[in-house]
């Protein structure tokens, strides 16, 4: 688990470094401050209200505690082990088999399950999925994703300003006029680099949630089995690839909720499922969890 935590720190540091470089090119400390404040406001709103937005987007309903008493019992068992509060539980009526966790901190968290995943998985497999989602809450992944989004948004804003500056040739660097072509190249490639780093952070947190969930459930093979079933189910029941207003929430789900074309896998918010399943089997074989 420590390796993925270190990866996250290094990736966030790299992302921050890109922001500092771009801010210095645009307007020194002042340019950096303006961009960061704007990004902080935008993503701060998303941080505090993302759970309400995403649950309404998928028309989630509170999970009935009597009908799904075993789910509540499973979540209570796992949260007790993890030392986090009991989250709100939601159900989404869709044949797509998936699940996600949301909320700005463990005290304001929700876990949503689709009816598709309830029908597809066994109780042991669903317990593994719940352990994974609760791990996102324990590891404060929503906060980390918000930090990454804040920095990436600031980079995008500054890059857009640099494009205008390069076009008009009006930006100066000390006494020497900056090279417009160089600025344009920086403005184009910096946001792309920031996006790739942001996606890498998301993938590292998925690996960490798999490891943390396997540790607390003490059952990595059930999670691996669940991921394999979910992987095959996506080709049968998934979100419409043209459903752009839901694309921004794809990173929340335990598996990518769209039918992934080969070239899109390069820009996935999730690691390849085959790699995640293999990693869970290695954890079991090494017997480091039990």
Q: What is the pLDDT along the chain (290 residues), one digit of tens a residue?
A: 566 556 655 655 666 666 656 665 555 556 666 666 766 676 677 667 777 878 888 899 999 999 999 999 999 999 999 999 999 999 999 888 999 998 888 998 999 999 999 999 999 999 999 999 999 999 988 777 767 766 666 666 666 666 665 555 544 444 445 556 666 666 677 777 777 777 788 888 899 999 999 999 999 999 999 999 998 887 776 665 555 555 657 777 888 776 655 555 556 778 888 899 999 999 888 765 44
Instruction: Enter the pTM of the model.
Output: 0.76
Contact predicate 110/51, CB 8 Å: yes
Q: Taking every pair of C-alpha atoms in the chain, what is the biggest distance, in angstroms?
A: 73
Task: List the catalytic residue out of 133, 228, 274, 285.
Answer: 133
Q: Which residue has the tokens 């598996």?
A: 255
Does the active-site annotation cover 133?
Answer: yes
Q: Note whether 205 and 5 are within 8 A (CB).
A: no
How far is CA 257 from each of CA 51, 112, 150, 231, 245, rounded to the nearest angstrom? Answer: 18, 14, 24, 10, 13
**CA–CA separation, 252 vs 206, rounded Å?**
10
The contacts of residue 13 (CB under 8 Å, 6+ apart) are none
pLDDT given for residue 70 in this prediction: 96
CB atoms within 10 A of CB 77: 15
pLDDT of residue 173: 47
What is the per-residue pLDDT for 141?
Answer: 86
């Amino acid at each position: 688990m420590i390796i993925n935590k270190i990866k996250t720190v290094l990736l966030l540091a790299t992302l921050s470094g890109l922001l500092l470089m771009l801010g210095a090119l645009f307007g020194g400390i002042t340019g950096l401050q303006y961009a960061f404040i704007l990004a902080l406001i935008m993503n701060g709103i998303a941080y505090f209200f993302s759970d309400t937005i995403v649950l309404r987007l998928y028309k989630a309903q509170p999970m009935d505690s009597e009908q799904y008493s075993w789910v509540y019992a499973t979540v209570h068992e796992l949260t007790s082990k993890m030392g986090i509060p009991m989250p709100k539980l939601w159900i989404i009526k869709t044949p797509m088999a998936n699940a996600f966790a949301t909320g700005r901190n463990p005290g304001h968290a929700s876990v949503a399950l689709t009816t598709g995943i309830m029908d597809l998985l066994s109780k042991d497999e669903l317990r593994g999925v719940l352990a994974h989602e609760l791990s996102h809450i324990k590891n404060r992944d929503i906060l980390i994703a918000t930090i990454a989004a804040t920095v990436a948004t600031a980079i995008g804003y500054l890059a857009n300003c640099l494009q205008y500056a390069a076009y008009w040739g009006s930006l100066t660097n000390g006494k020497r006029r900056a090279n417009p072509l160089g600025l344009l190249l920086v403005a184009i490639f910096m946001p792309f680099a920031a996006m790739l780093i942001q996606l890498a952070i998301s993938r590292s947190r998925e690996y960490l949630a798999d490891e943390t969930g396997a540790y607390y459930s003490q059952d990595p093979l059930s999670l691996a089995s669940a991921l394999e079933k979910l992987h095959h189910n996506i080709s049968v029941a998934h979100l419409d690839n043209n459903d752009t207003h839901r694309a921004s929430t794809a990173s929340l789900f335990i598996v990518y909720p769209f039918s992934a074309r080969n070239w899109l896998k390069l820009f996935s918010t999730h690691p390849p499922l085959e790699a995640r399943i293999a990693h869970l089997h290695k954890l079991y074989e090494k017997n480091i969890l039990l």
